């Protein structure tokens, strides 16, 4: 049916014998999401000629919104040369609580609770926060309004007070620190067209490392603190198309950060990484997904290197922050298959391979080929998905390292891994 509509509109659009004009646009099915907001972000307007490509782009954009689980359109002929476009919206439930419970070490159980509204005031604005107890207390508050001023311009404001126990890798030994990062960030958001998006802003924060070890074996820094300023820029190319749990298309996201400091023990640095994501539908129930991350940072010979090897970031099953580096190349690829789909519920299985390598602090590009820096973790997992609640995907994965020194383990989370 969708192909039929596209074929009709395509033929109408490129007909040379008649002028096909949109005289009315109707929006159906939306309840909380404001009709005025949909009209603001849609490029199709009354008085325009019928354009099938623009209609398809509007639908893709709507399906990317957290507040929309599915969207479609149809075209109705009204009289000679005039047409009505009807958008049909299926909304997501967007007030989402979150609860995560996990073990942070052999003795302590950590948890994180949060609440976010992803469609504040019916304008697709996100507002919410979290509280985390992971030995220490942390919290964060976030506001994001990508269409606050217009279809192109928006704003994001973030504040966090983050405290964790972090391992720092000296040559002689690994030292555990109490790490604290208290930050305030403002970002300007700009989306010139359907595929491209930019962010630029400043983050002012204070970092503090307090050693949890007795200084007995060697001389290490017991207390380090720095006031820092980060200039952050993001460029995203996004051509993804969503159909409930299925995704197809390509996305590339470039992150660039320049961090200044008032303490040379935590030196200033420039860091950049690019995520290349590719998704392809395979048959009726299959989805292949891949992410390649390539990143480099200023090559300071410091134990506080910015890239980390971690379960929740890049390699499932490897452990919590087991190494650091000044460069990273990571490939995550997996096949997702829908096992059960009944109404709103989907059970999805996946088989994956996560592989990556790191450049040591102060090392060279040859470190990427060093067998000691290479990690390969195949594994499998499950996804429990609610189709009409935004990001309501509970995932569990088990990764198994193939070399003797590698570990293995379960990784839990909310949302797809990538």
Torsion angle defined by CA atoms of residues 335, 338, 339 and 343, in that order, rounded to the nearest 10 degrees: 160
Which pLDDT belongs to residue 202? 98
* C-alpha radius of gyration, the chain, whole number: 24
Last residue of a domain, one of 64, 91, 118: 91
| CATH at residue 359 | 2.40.160.50
67 Cβ contact partners less than 8 Å away, ≥ 6 residues apart: 32, 33, 91, 92, 94, 118, 119, 124, 390
Does 212 map to a domain?
no
Q: Tell me: the pLDDT tens digits for 80-139? A: 778 999 999 999 999 988 877 765 555 567 788 999 999 999 999 999 999 999 889 999
What pLDDT score does 44 carry? 92
State pTM to two decimals: 0.83
Domain containing residue 14: CATH number: 3.10.20.310
Q: Is residue 13 part of a domain?
A: yes
Element (H, E) at 37: helix 35-41
| Residue at 410 is within a domain | yes
Residue-level pLDDT at 111: 84
Q: Is residue 260 within 8 Å of residue 252, measured between CB atoms? A: no
Distance of CA 269 to the CA centre of its chain: 24
User: What is the pLDDT, as a whole number, of residue 12?
Assistant: 47
pLDDT at res. 15: 43
> Does 31 map to a domain?
yes
pLDDT of residue 215: 59
Asked if 239 and 251 count as a contact pair (C-beta separation under 8 A), the reply is: yes
Domain encompassing residue 12: 2-91
- Averages of pLDDT over each 10 residues, the chain, 418 residues: 49 50 93 94 91 92 93 89 92 88 62 93 96 93 96 97 87 85 98 94 96 68 91 97 94 97 90 98 97 95 86 86 89 98 96 95 92 93 93 92 84 88
Rounded Cα distance between 47 and 144, Å, is 32
Of 48, 67, 91, the position where a domain reaches its end is 91
Q: Are 345 and 387 in contact (CB under 8 A)?
A: yes
Residue 195 within a domain? no
Place of tokens 């070490």: 105
Q: Tell whether 117 is covered by a domain.
A: no
Instruction: Count up the domains in the chain and report the number.
Output: 2
Q: What integer pLDDT is reported at residue 289 of this predicted model?
A: 98
Residue 397 forms part of a structural domain: yes
310-341, pLDDT tens digit by residue? 888 899 988 877 788 999 999 999 999 999 99
Give Dmax (Cα) for the chain. Answer: 89
Whole-number Å distance between alpha carbons of 111 and 108: 10
Residue 390 lies in a domain: yes
Q: Which of 46, 62, 91 is the last residue of a domain?
A: 91
**C-alpha triplet 197, 160, 266: angle, nearest 5°:** 90
């Amino acid at each position: 049916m969708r192909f039929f509509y596209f074929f009709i509109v395509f033929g109408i659009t490129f007909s040379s014998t008649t002028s096909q004009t949109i005289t009315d646009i109707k929006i159906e099915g939306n309840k909380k999401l404001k009709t005025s907001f949909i009209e603001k972000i849609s490029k199709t307007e009354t008085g325009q000629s019928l354009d099938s490509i623009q209609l398809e782009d509007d639908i893709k954009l709507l399906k990317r919104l957290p507040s929309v689980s599915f969207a479609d359109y149809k075209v109705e002929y009204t009289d000679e040369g005039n047409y009505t476009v009807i958008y049909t919206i299926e909304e997501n439930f967007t007030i989402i609580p979150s609860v995560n419970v996990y073990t942070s070490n052999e003795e302590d159980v950590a948890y994180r609770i949060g609440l976010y509204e992803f469609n504040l005031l019916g304008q697709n604005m996100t507002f919410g926060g979290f509280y985390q107890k992971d030995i220490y207390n942390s919290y964060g508050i976030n506001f994001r309004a990508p269409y606050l001023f217009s279809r192109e311009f928006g704003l994001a404001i973030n504040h966090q007070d983050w405290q964790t126990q972090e391992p720092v890798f000296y040559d002689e030994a690994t030292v555990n620190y109490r790490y604290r990062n208290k930050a305030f960030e403002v970002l300007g958001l700009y989306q010139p067209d359907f595929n491209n998006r930019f962010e630029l802003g400043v983050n002012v924060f204070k970092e503090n490392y307090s050693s949890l070890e007795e200084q007995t074996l060697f001389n290490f820094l017991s207390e380090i603190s720095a006031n820092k300023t980060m200039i952050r820029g993001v460029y995203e190319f996004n051509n993804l198309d969503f159909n409930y749990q299925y995704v197809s298309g390509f996305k590339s996201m470039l992150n660039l950060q320049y961090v200044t400091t008032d303490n040379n023990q935590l030196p200033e640095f420039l860091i950049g990484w690019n995520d290349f994501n590719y998704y392809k539908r395979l048959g009726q129930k299959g989805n292949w997904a891949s992410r390649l991350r390539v990143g480099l940072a200023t090559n300071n010979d410091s134990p506080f290197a910015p890239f980390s090897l971690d379960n929740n970031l890049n390699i499932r099953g490897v452990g919590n922050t087991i190494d650091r580096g000044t460069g990273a190349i990571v490939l995550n690829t997996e096949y997702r298959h829908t096992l059960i789909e009944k109404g709103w519920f989907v059970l999805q299985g996946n088989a994956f391979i996560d592989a990556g390598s790191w450049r040591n602090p102060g090392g060279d590009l040859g470190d990427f080929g060093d067998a000691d820096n290479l990690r390969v973790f195949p594994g499998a997992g499950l996804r429990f998905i609610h189709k009409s609640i935004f990001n309501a995907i509970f995932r569990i994965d088990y990764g198994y390292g193939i070399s003797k020194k590698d570990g293995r383990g379960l990784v839990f989370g909310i949302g797809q891994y990538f």
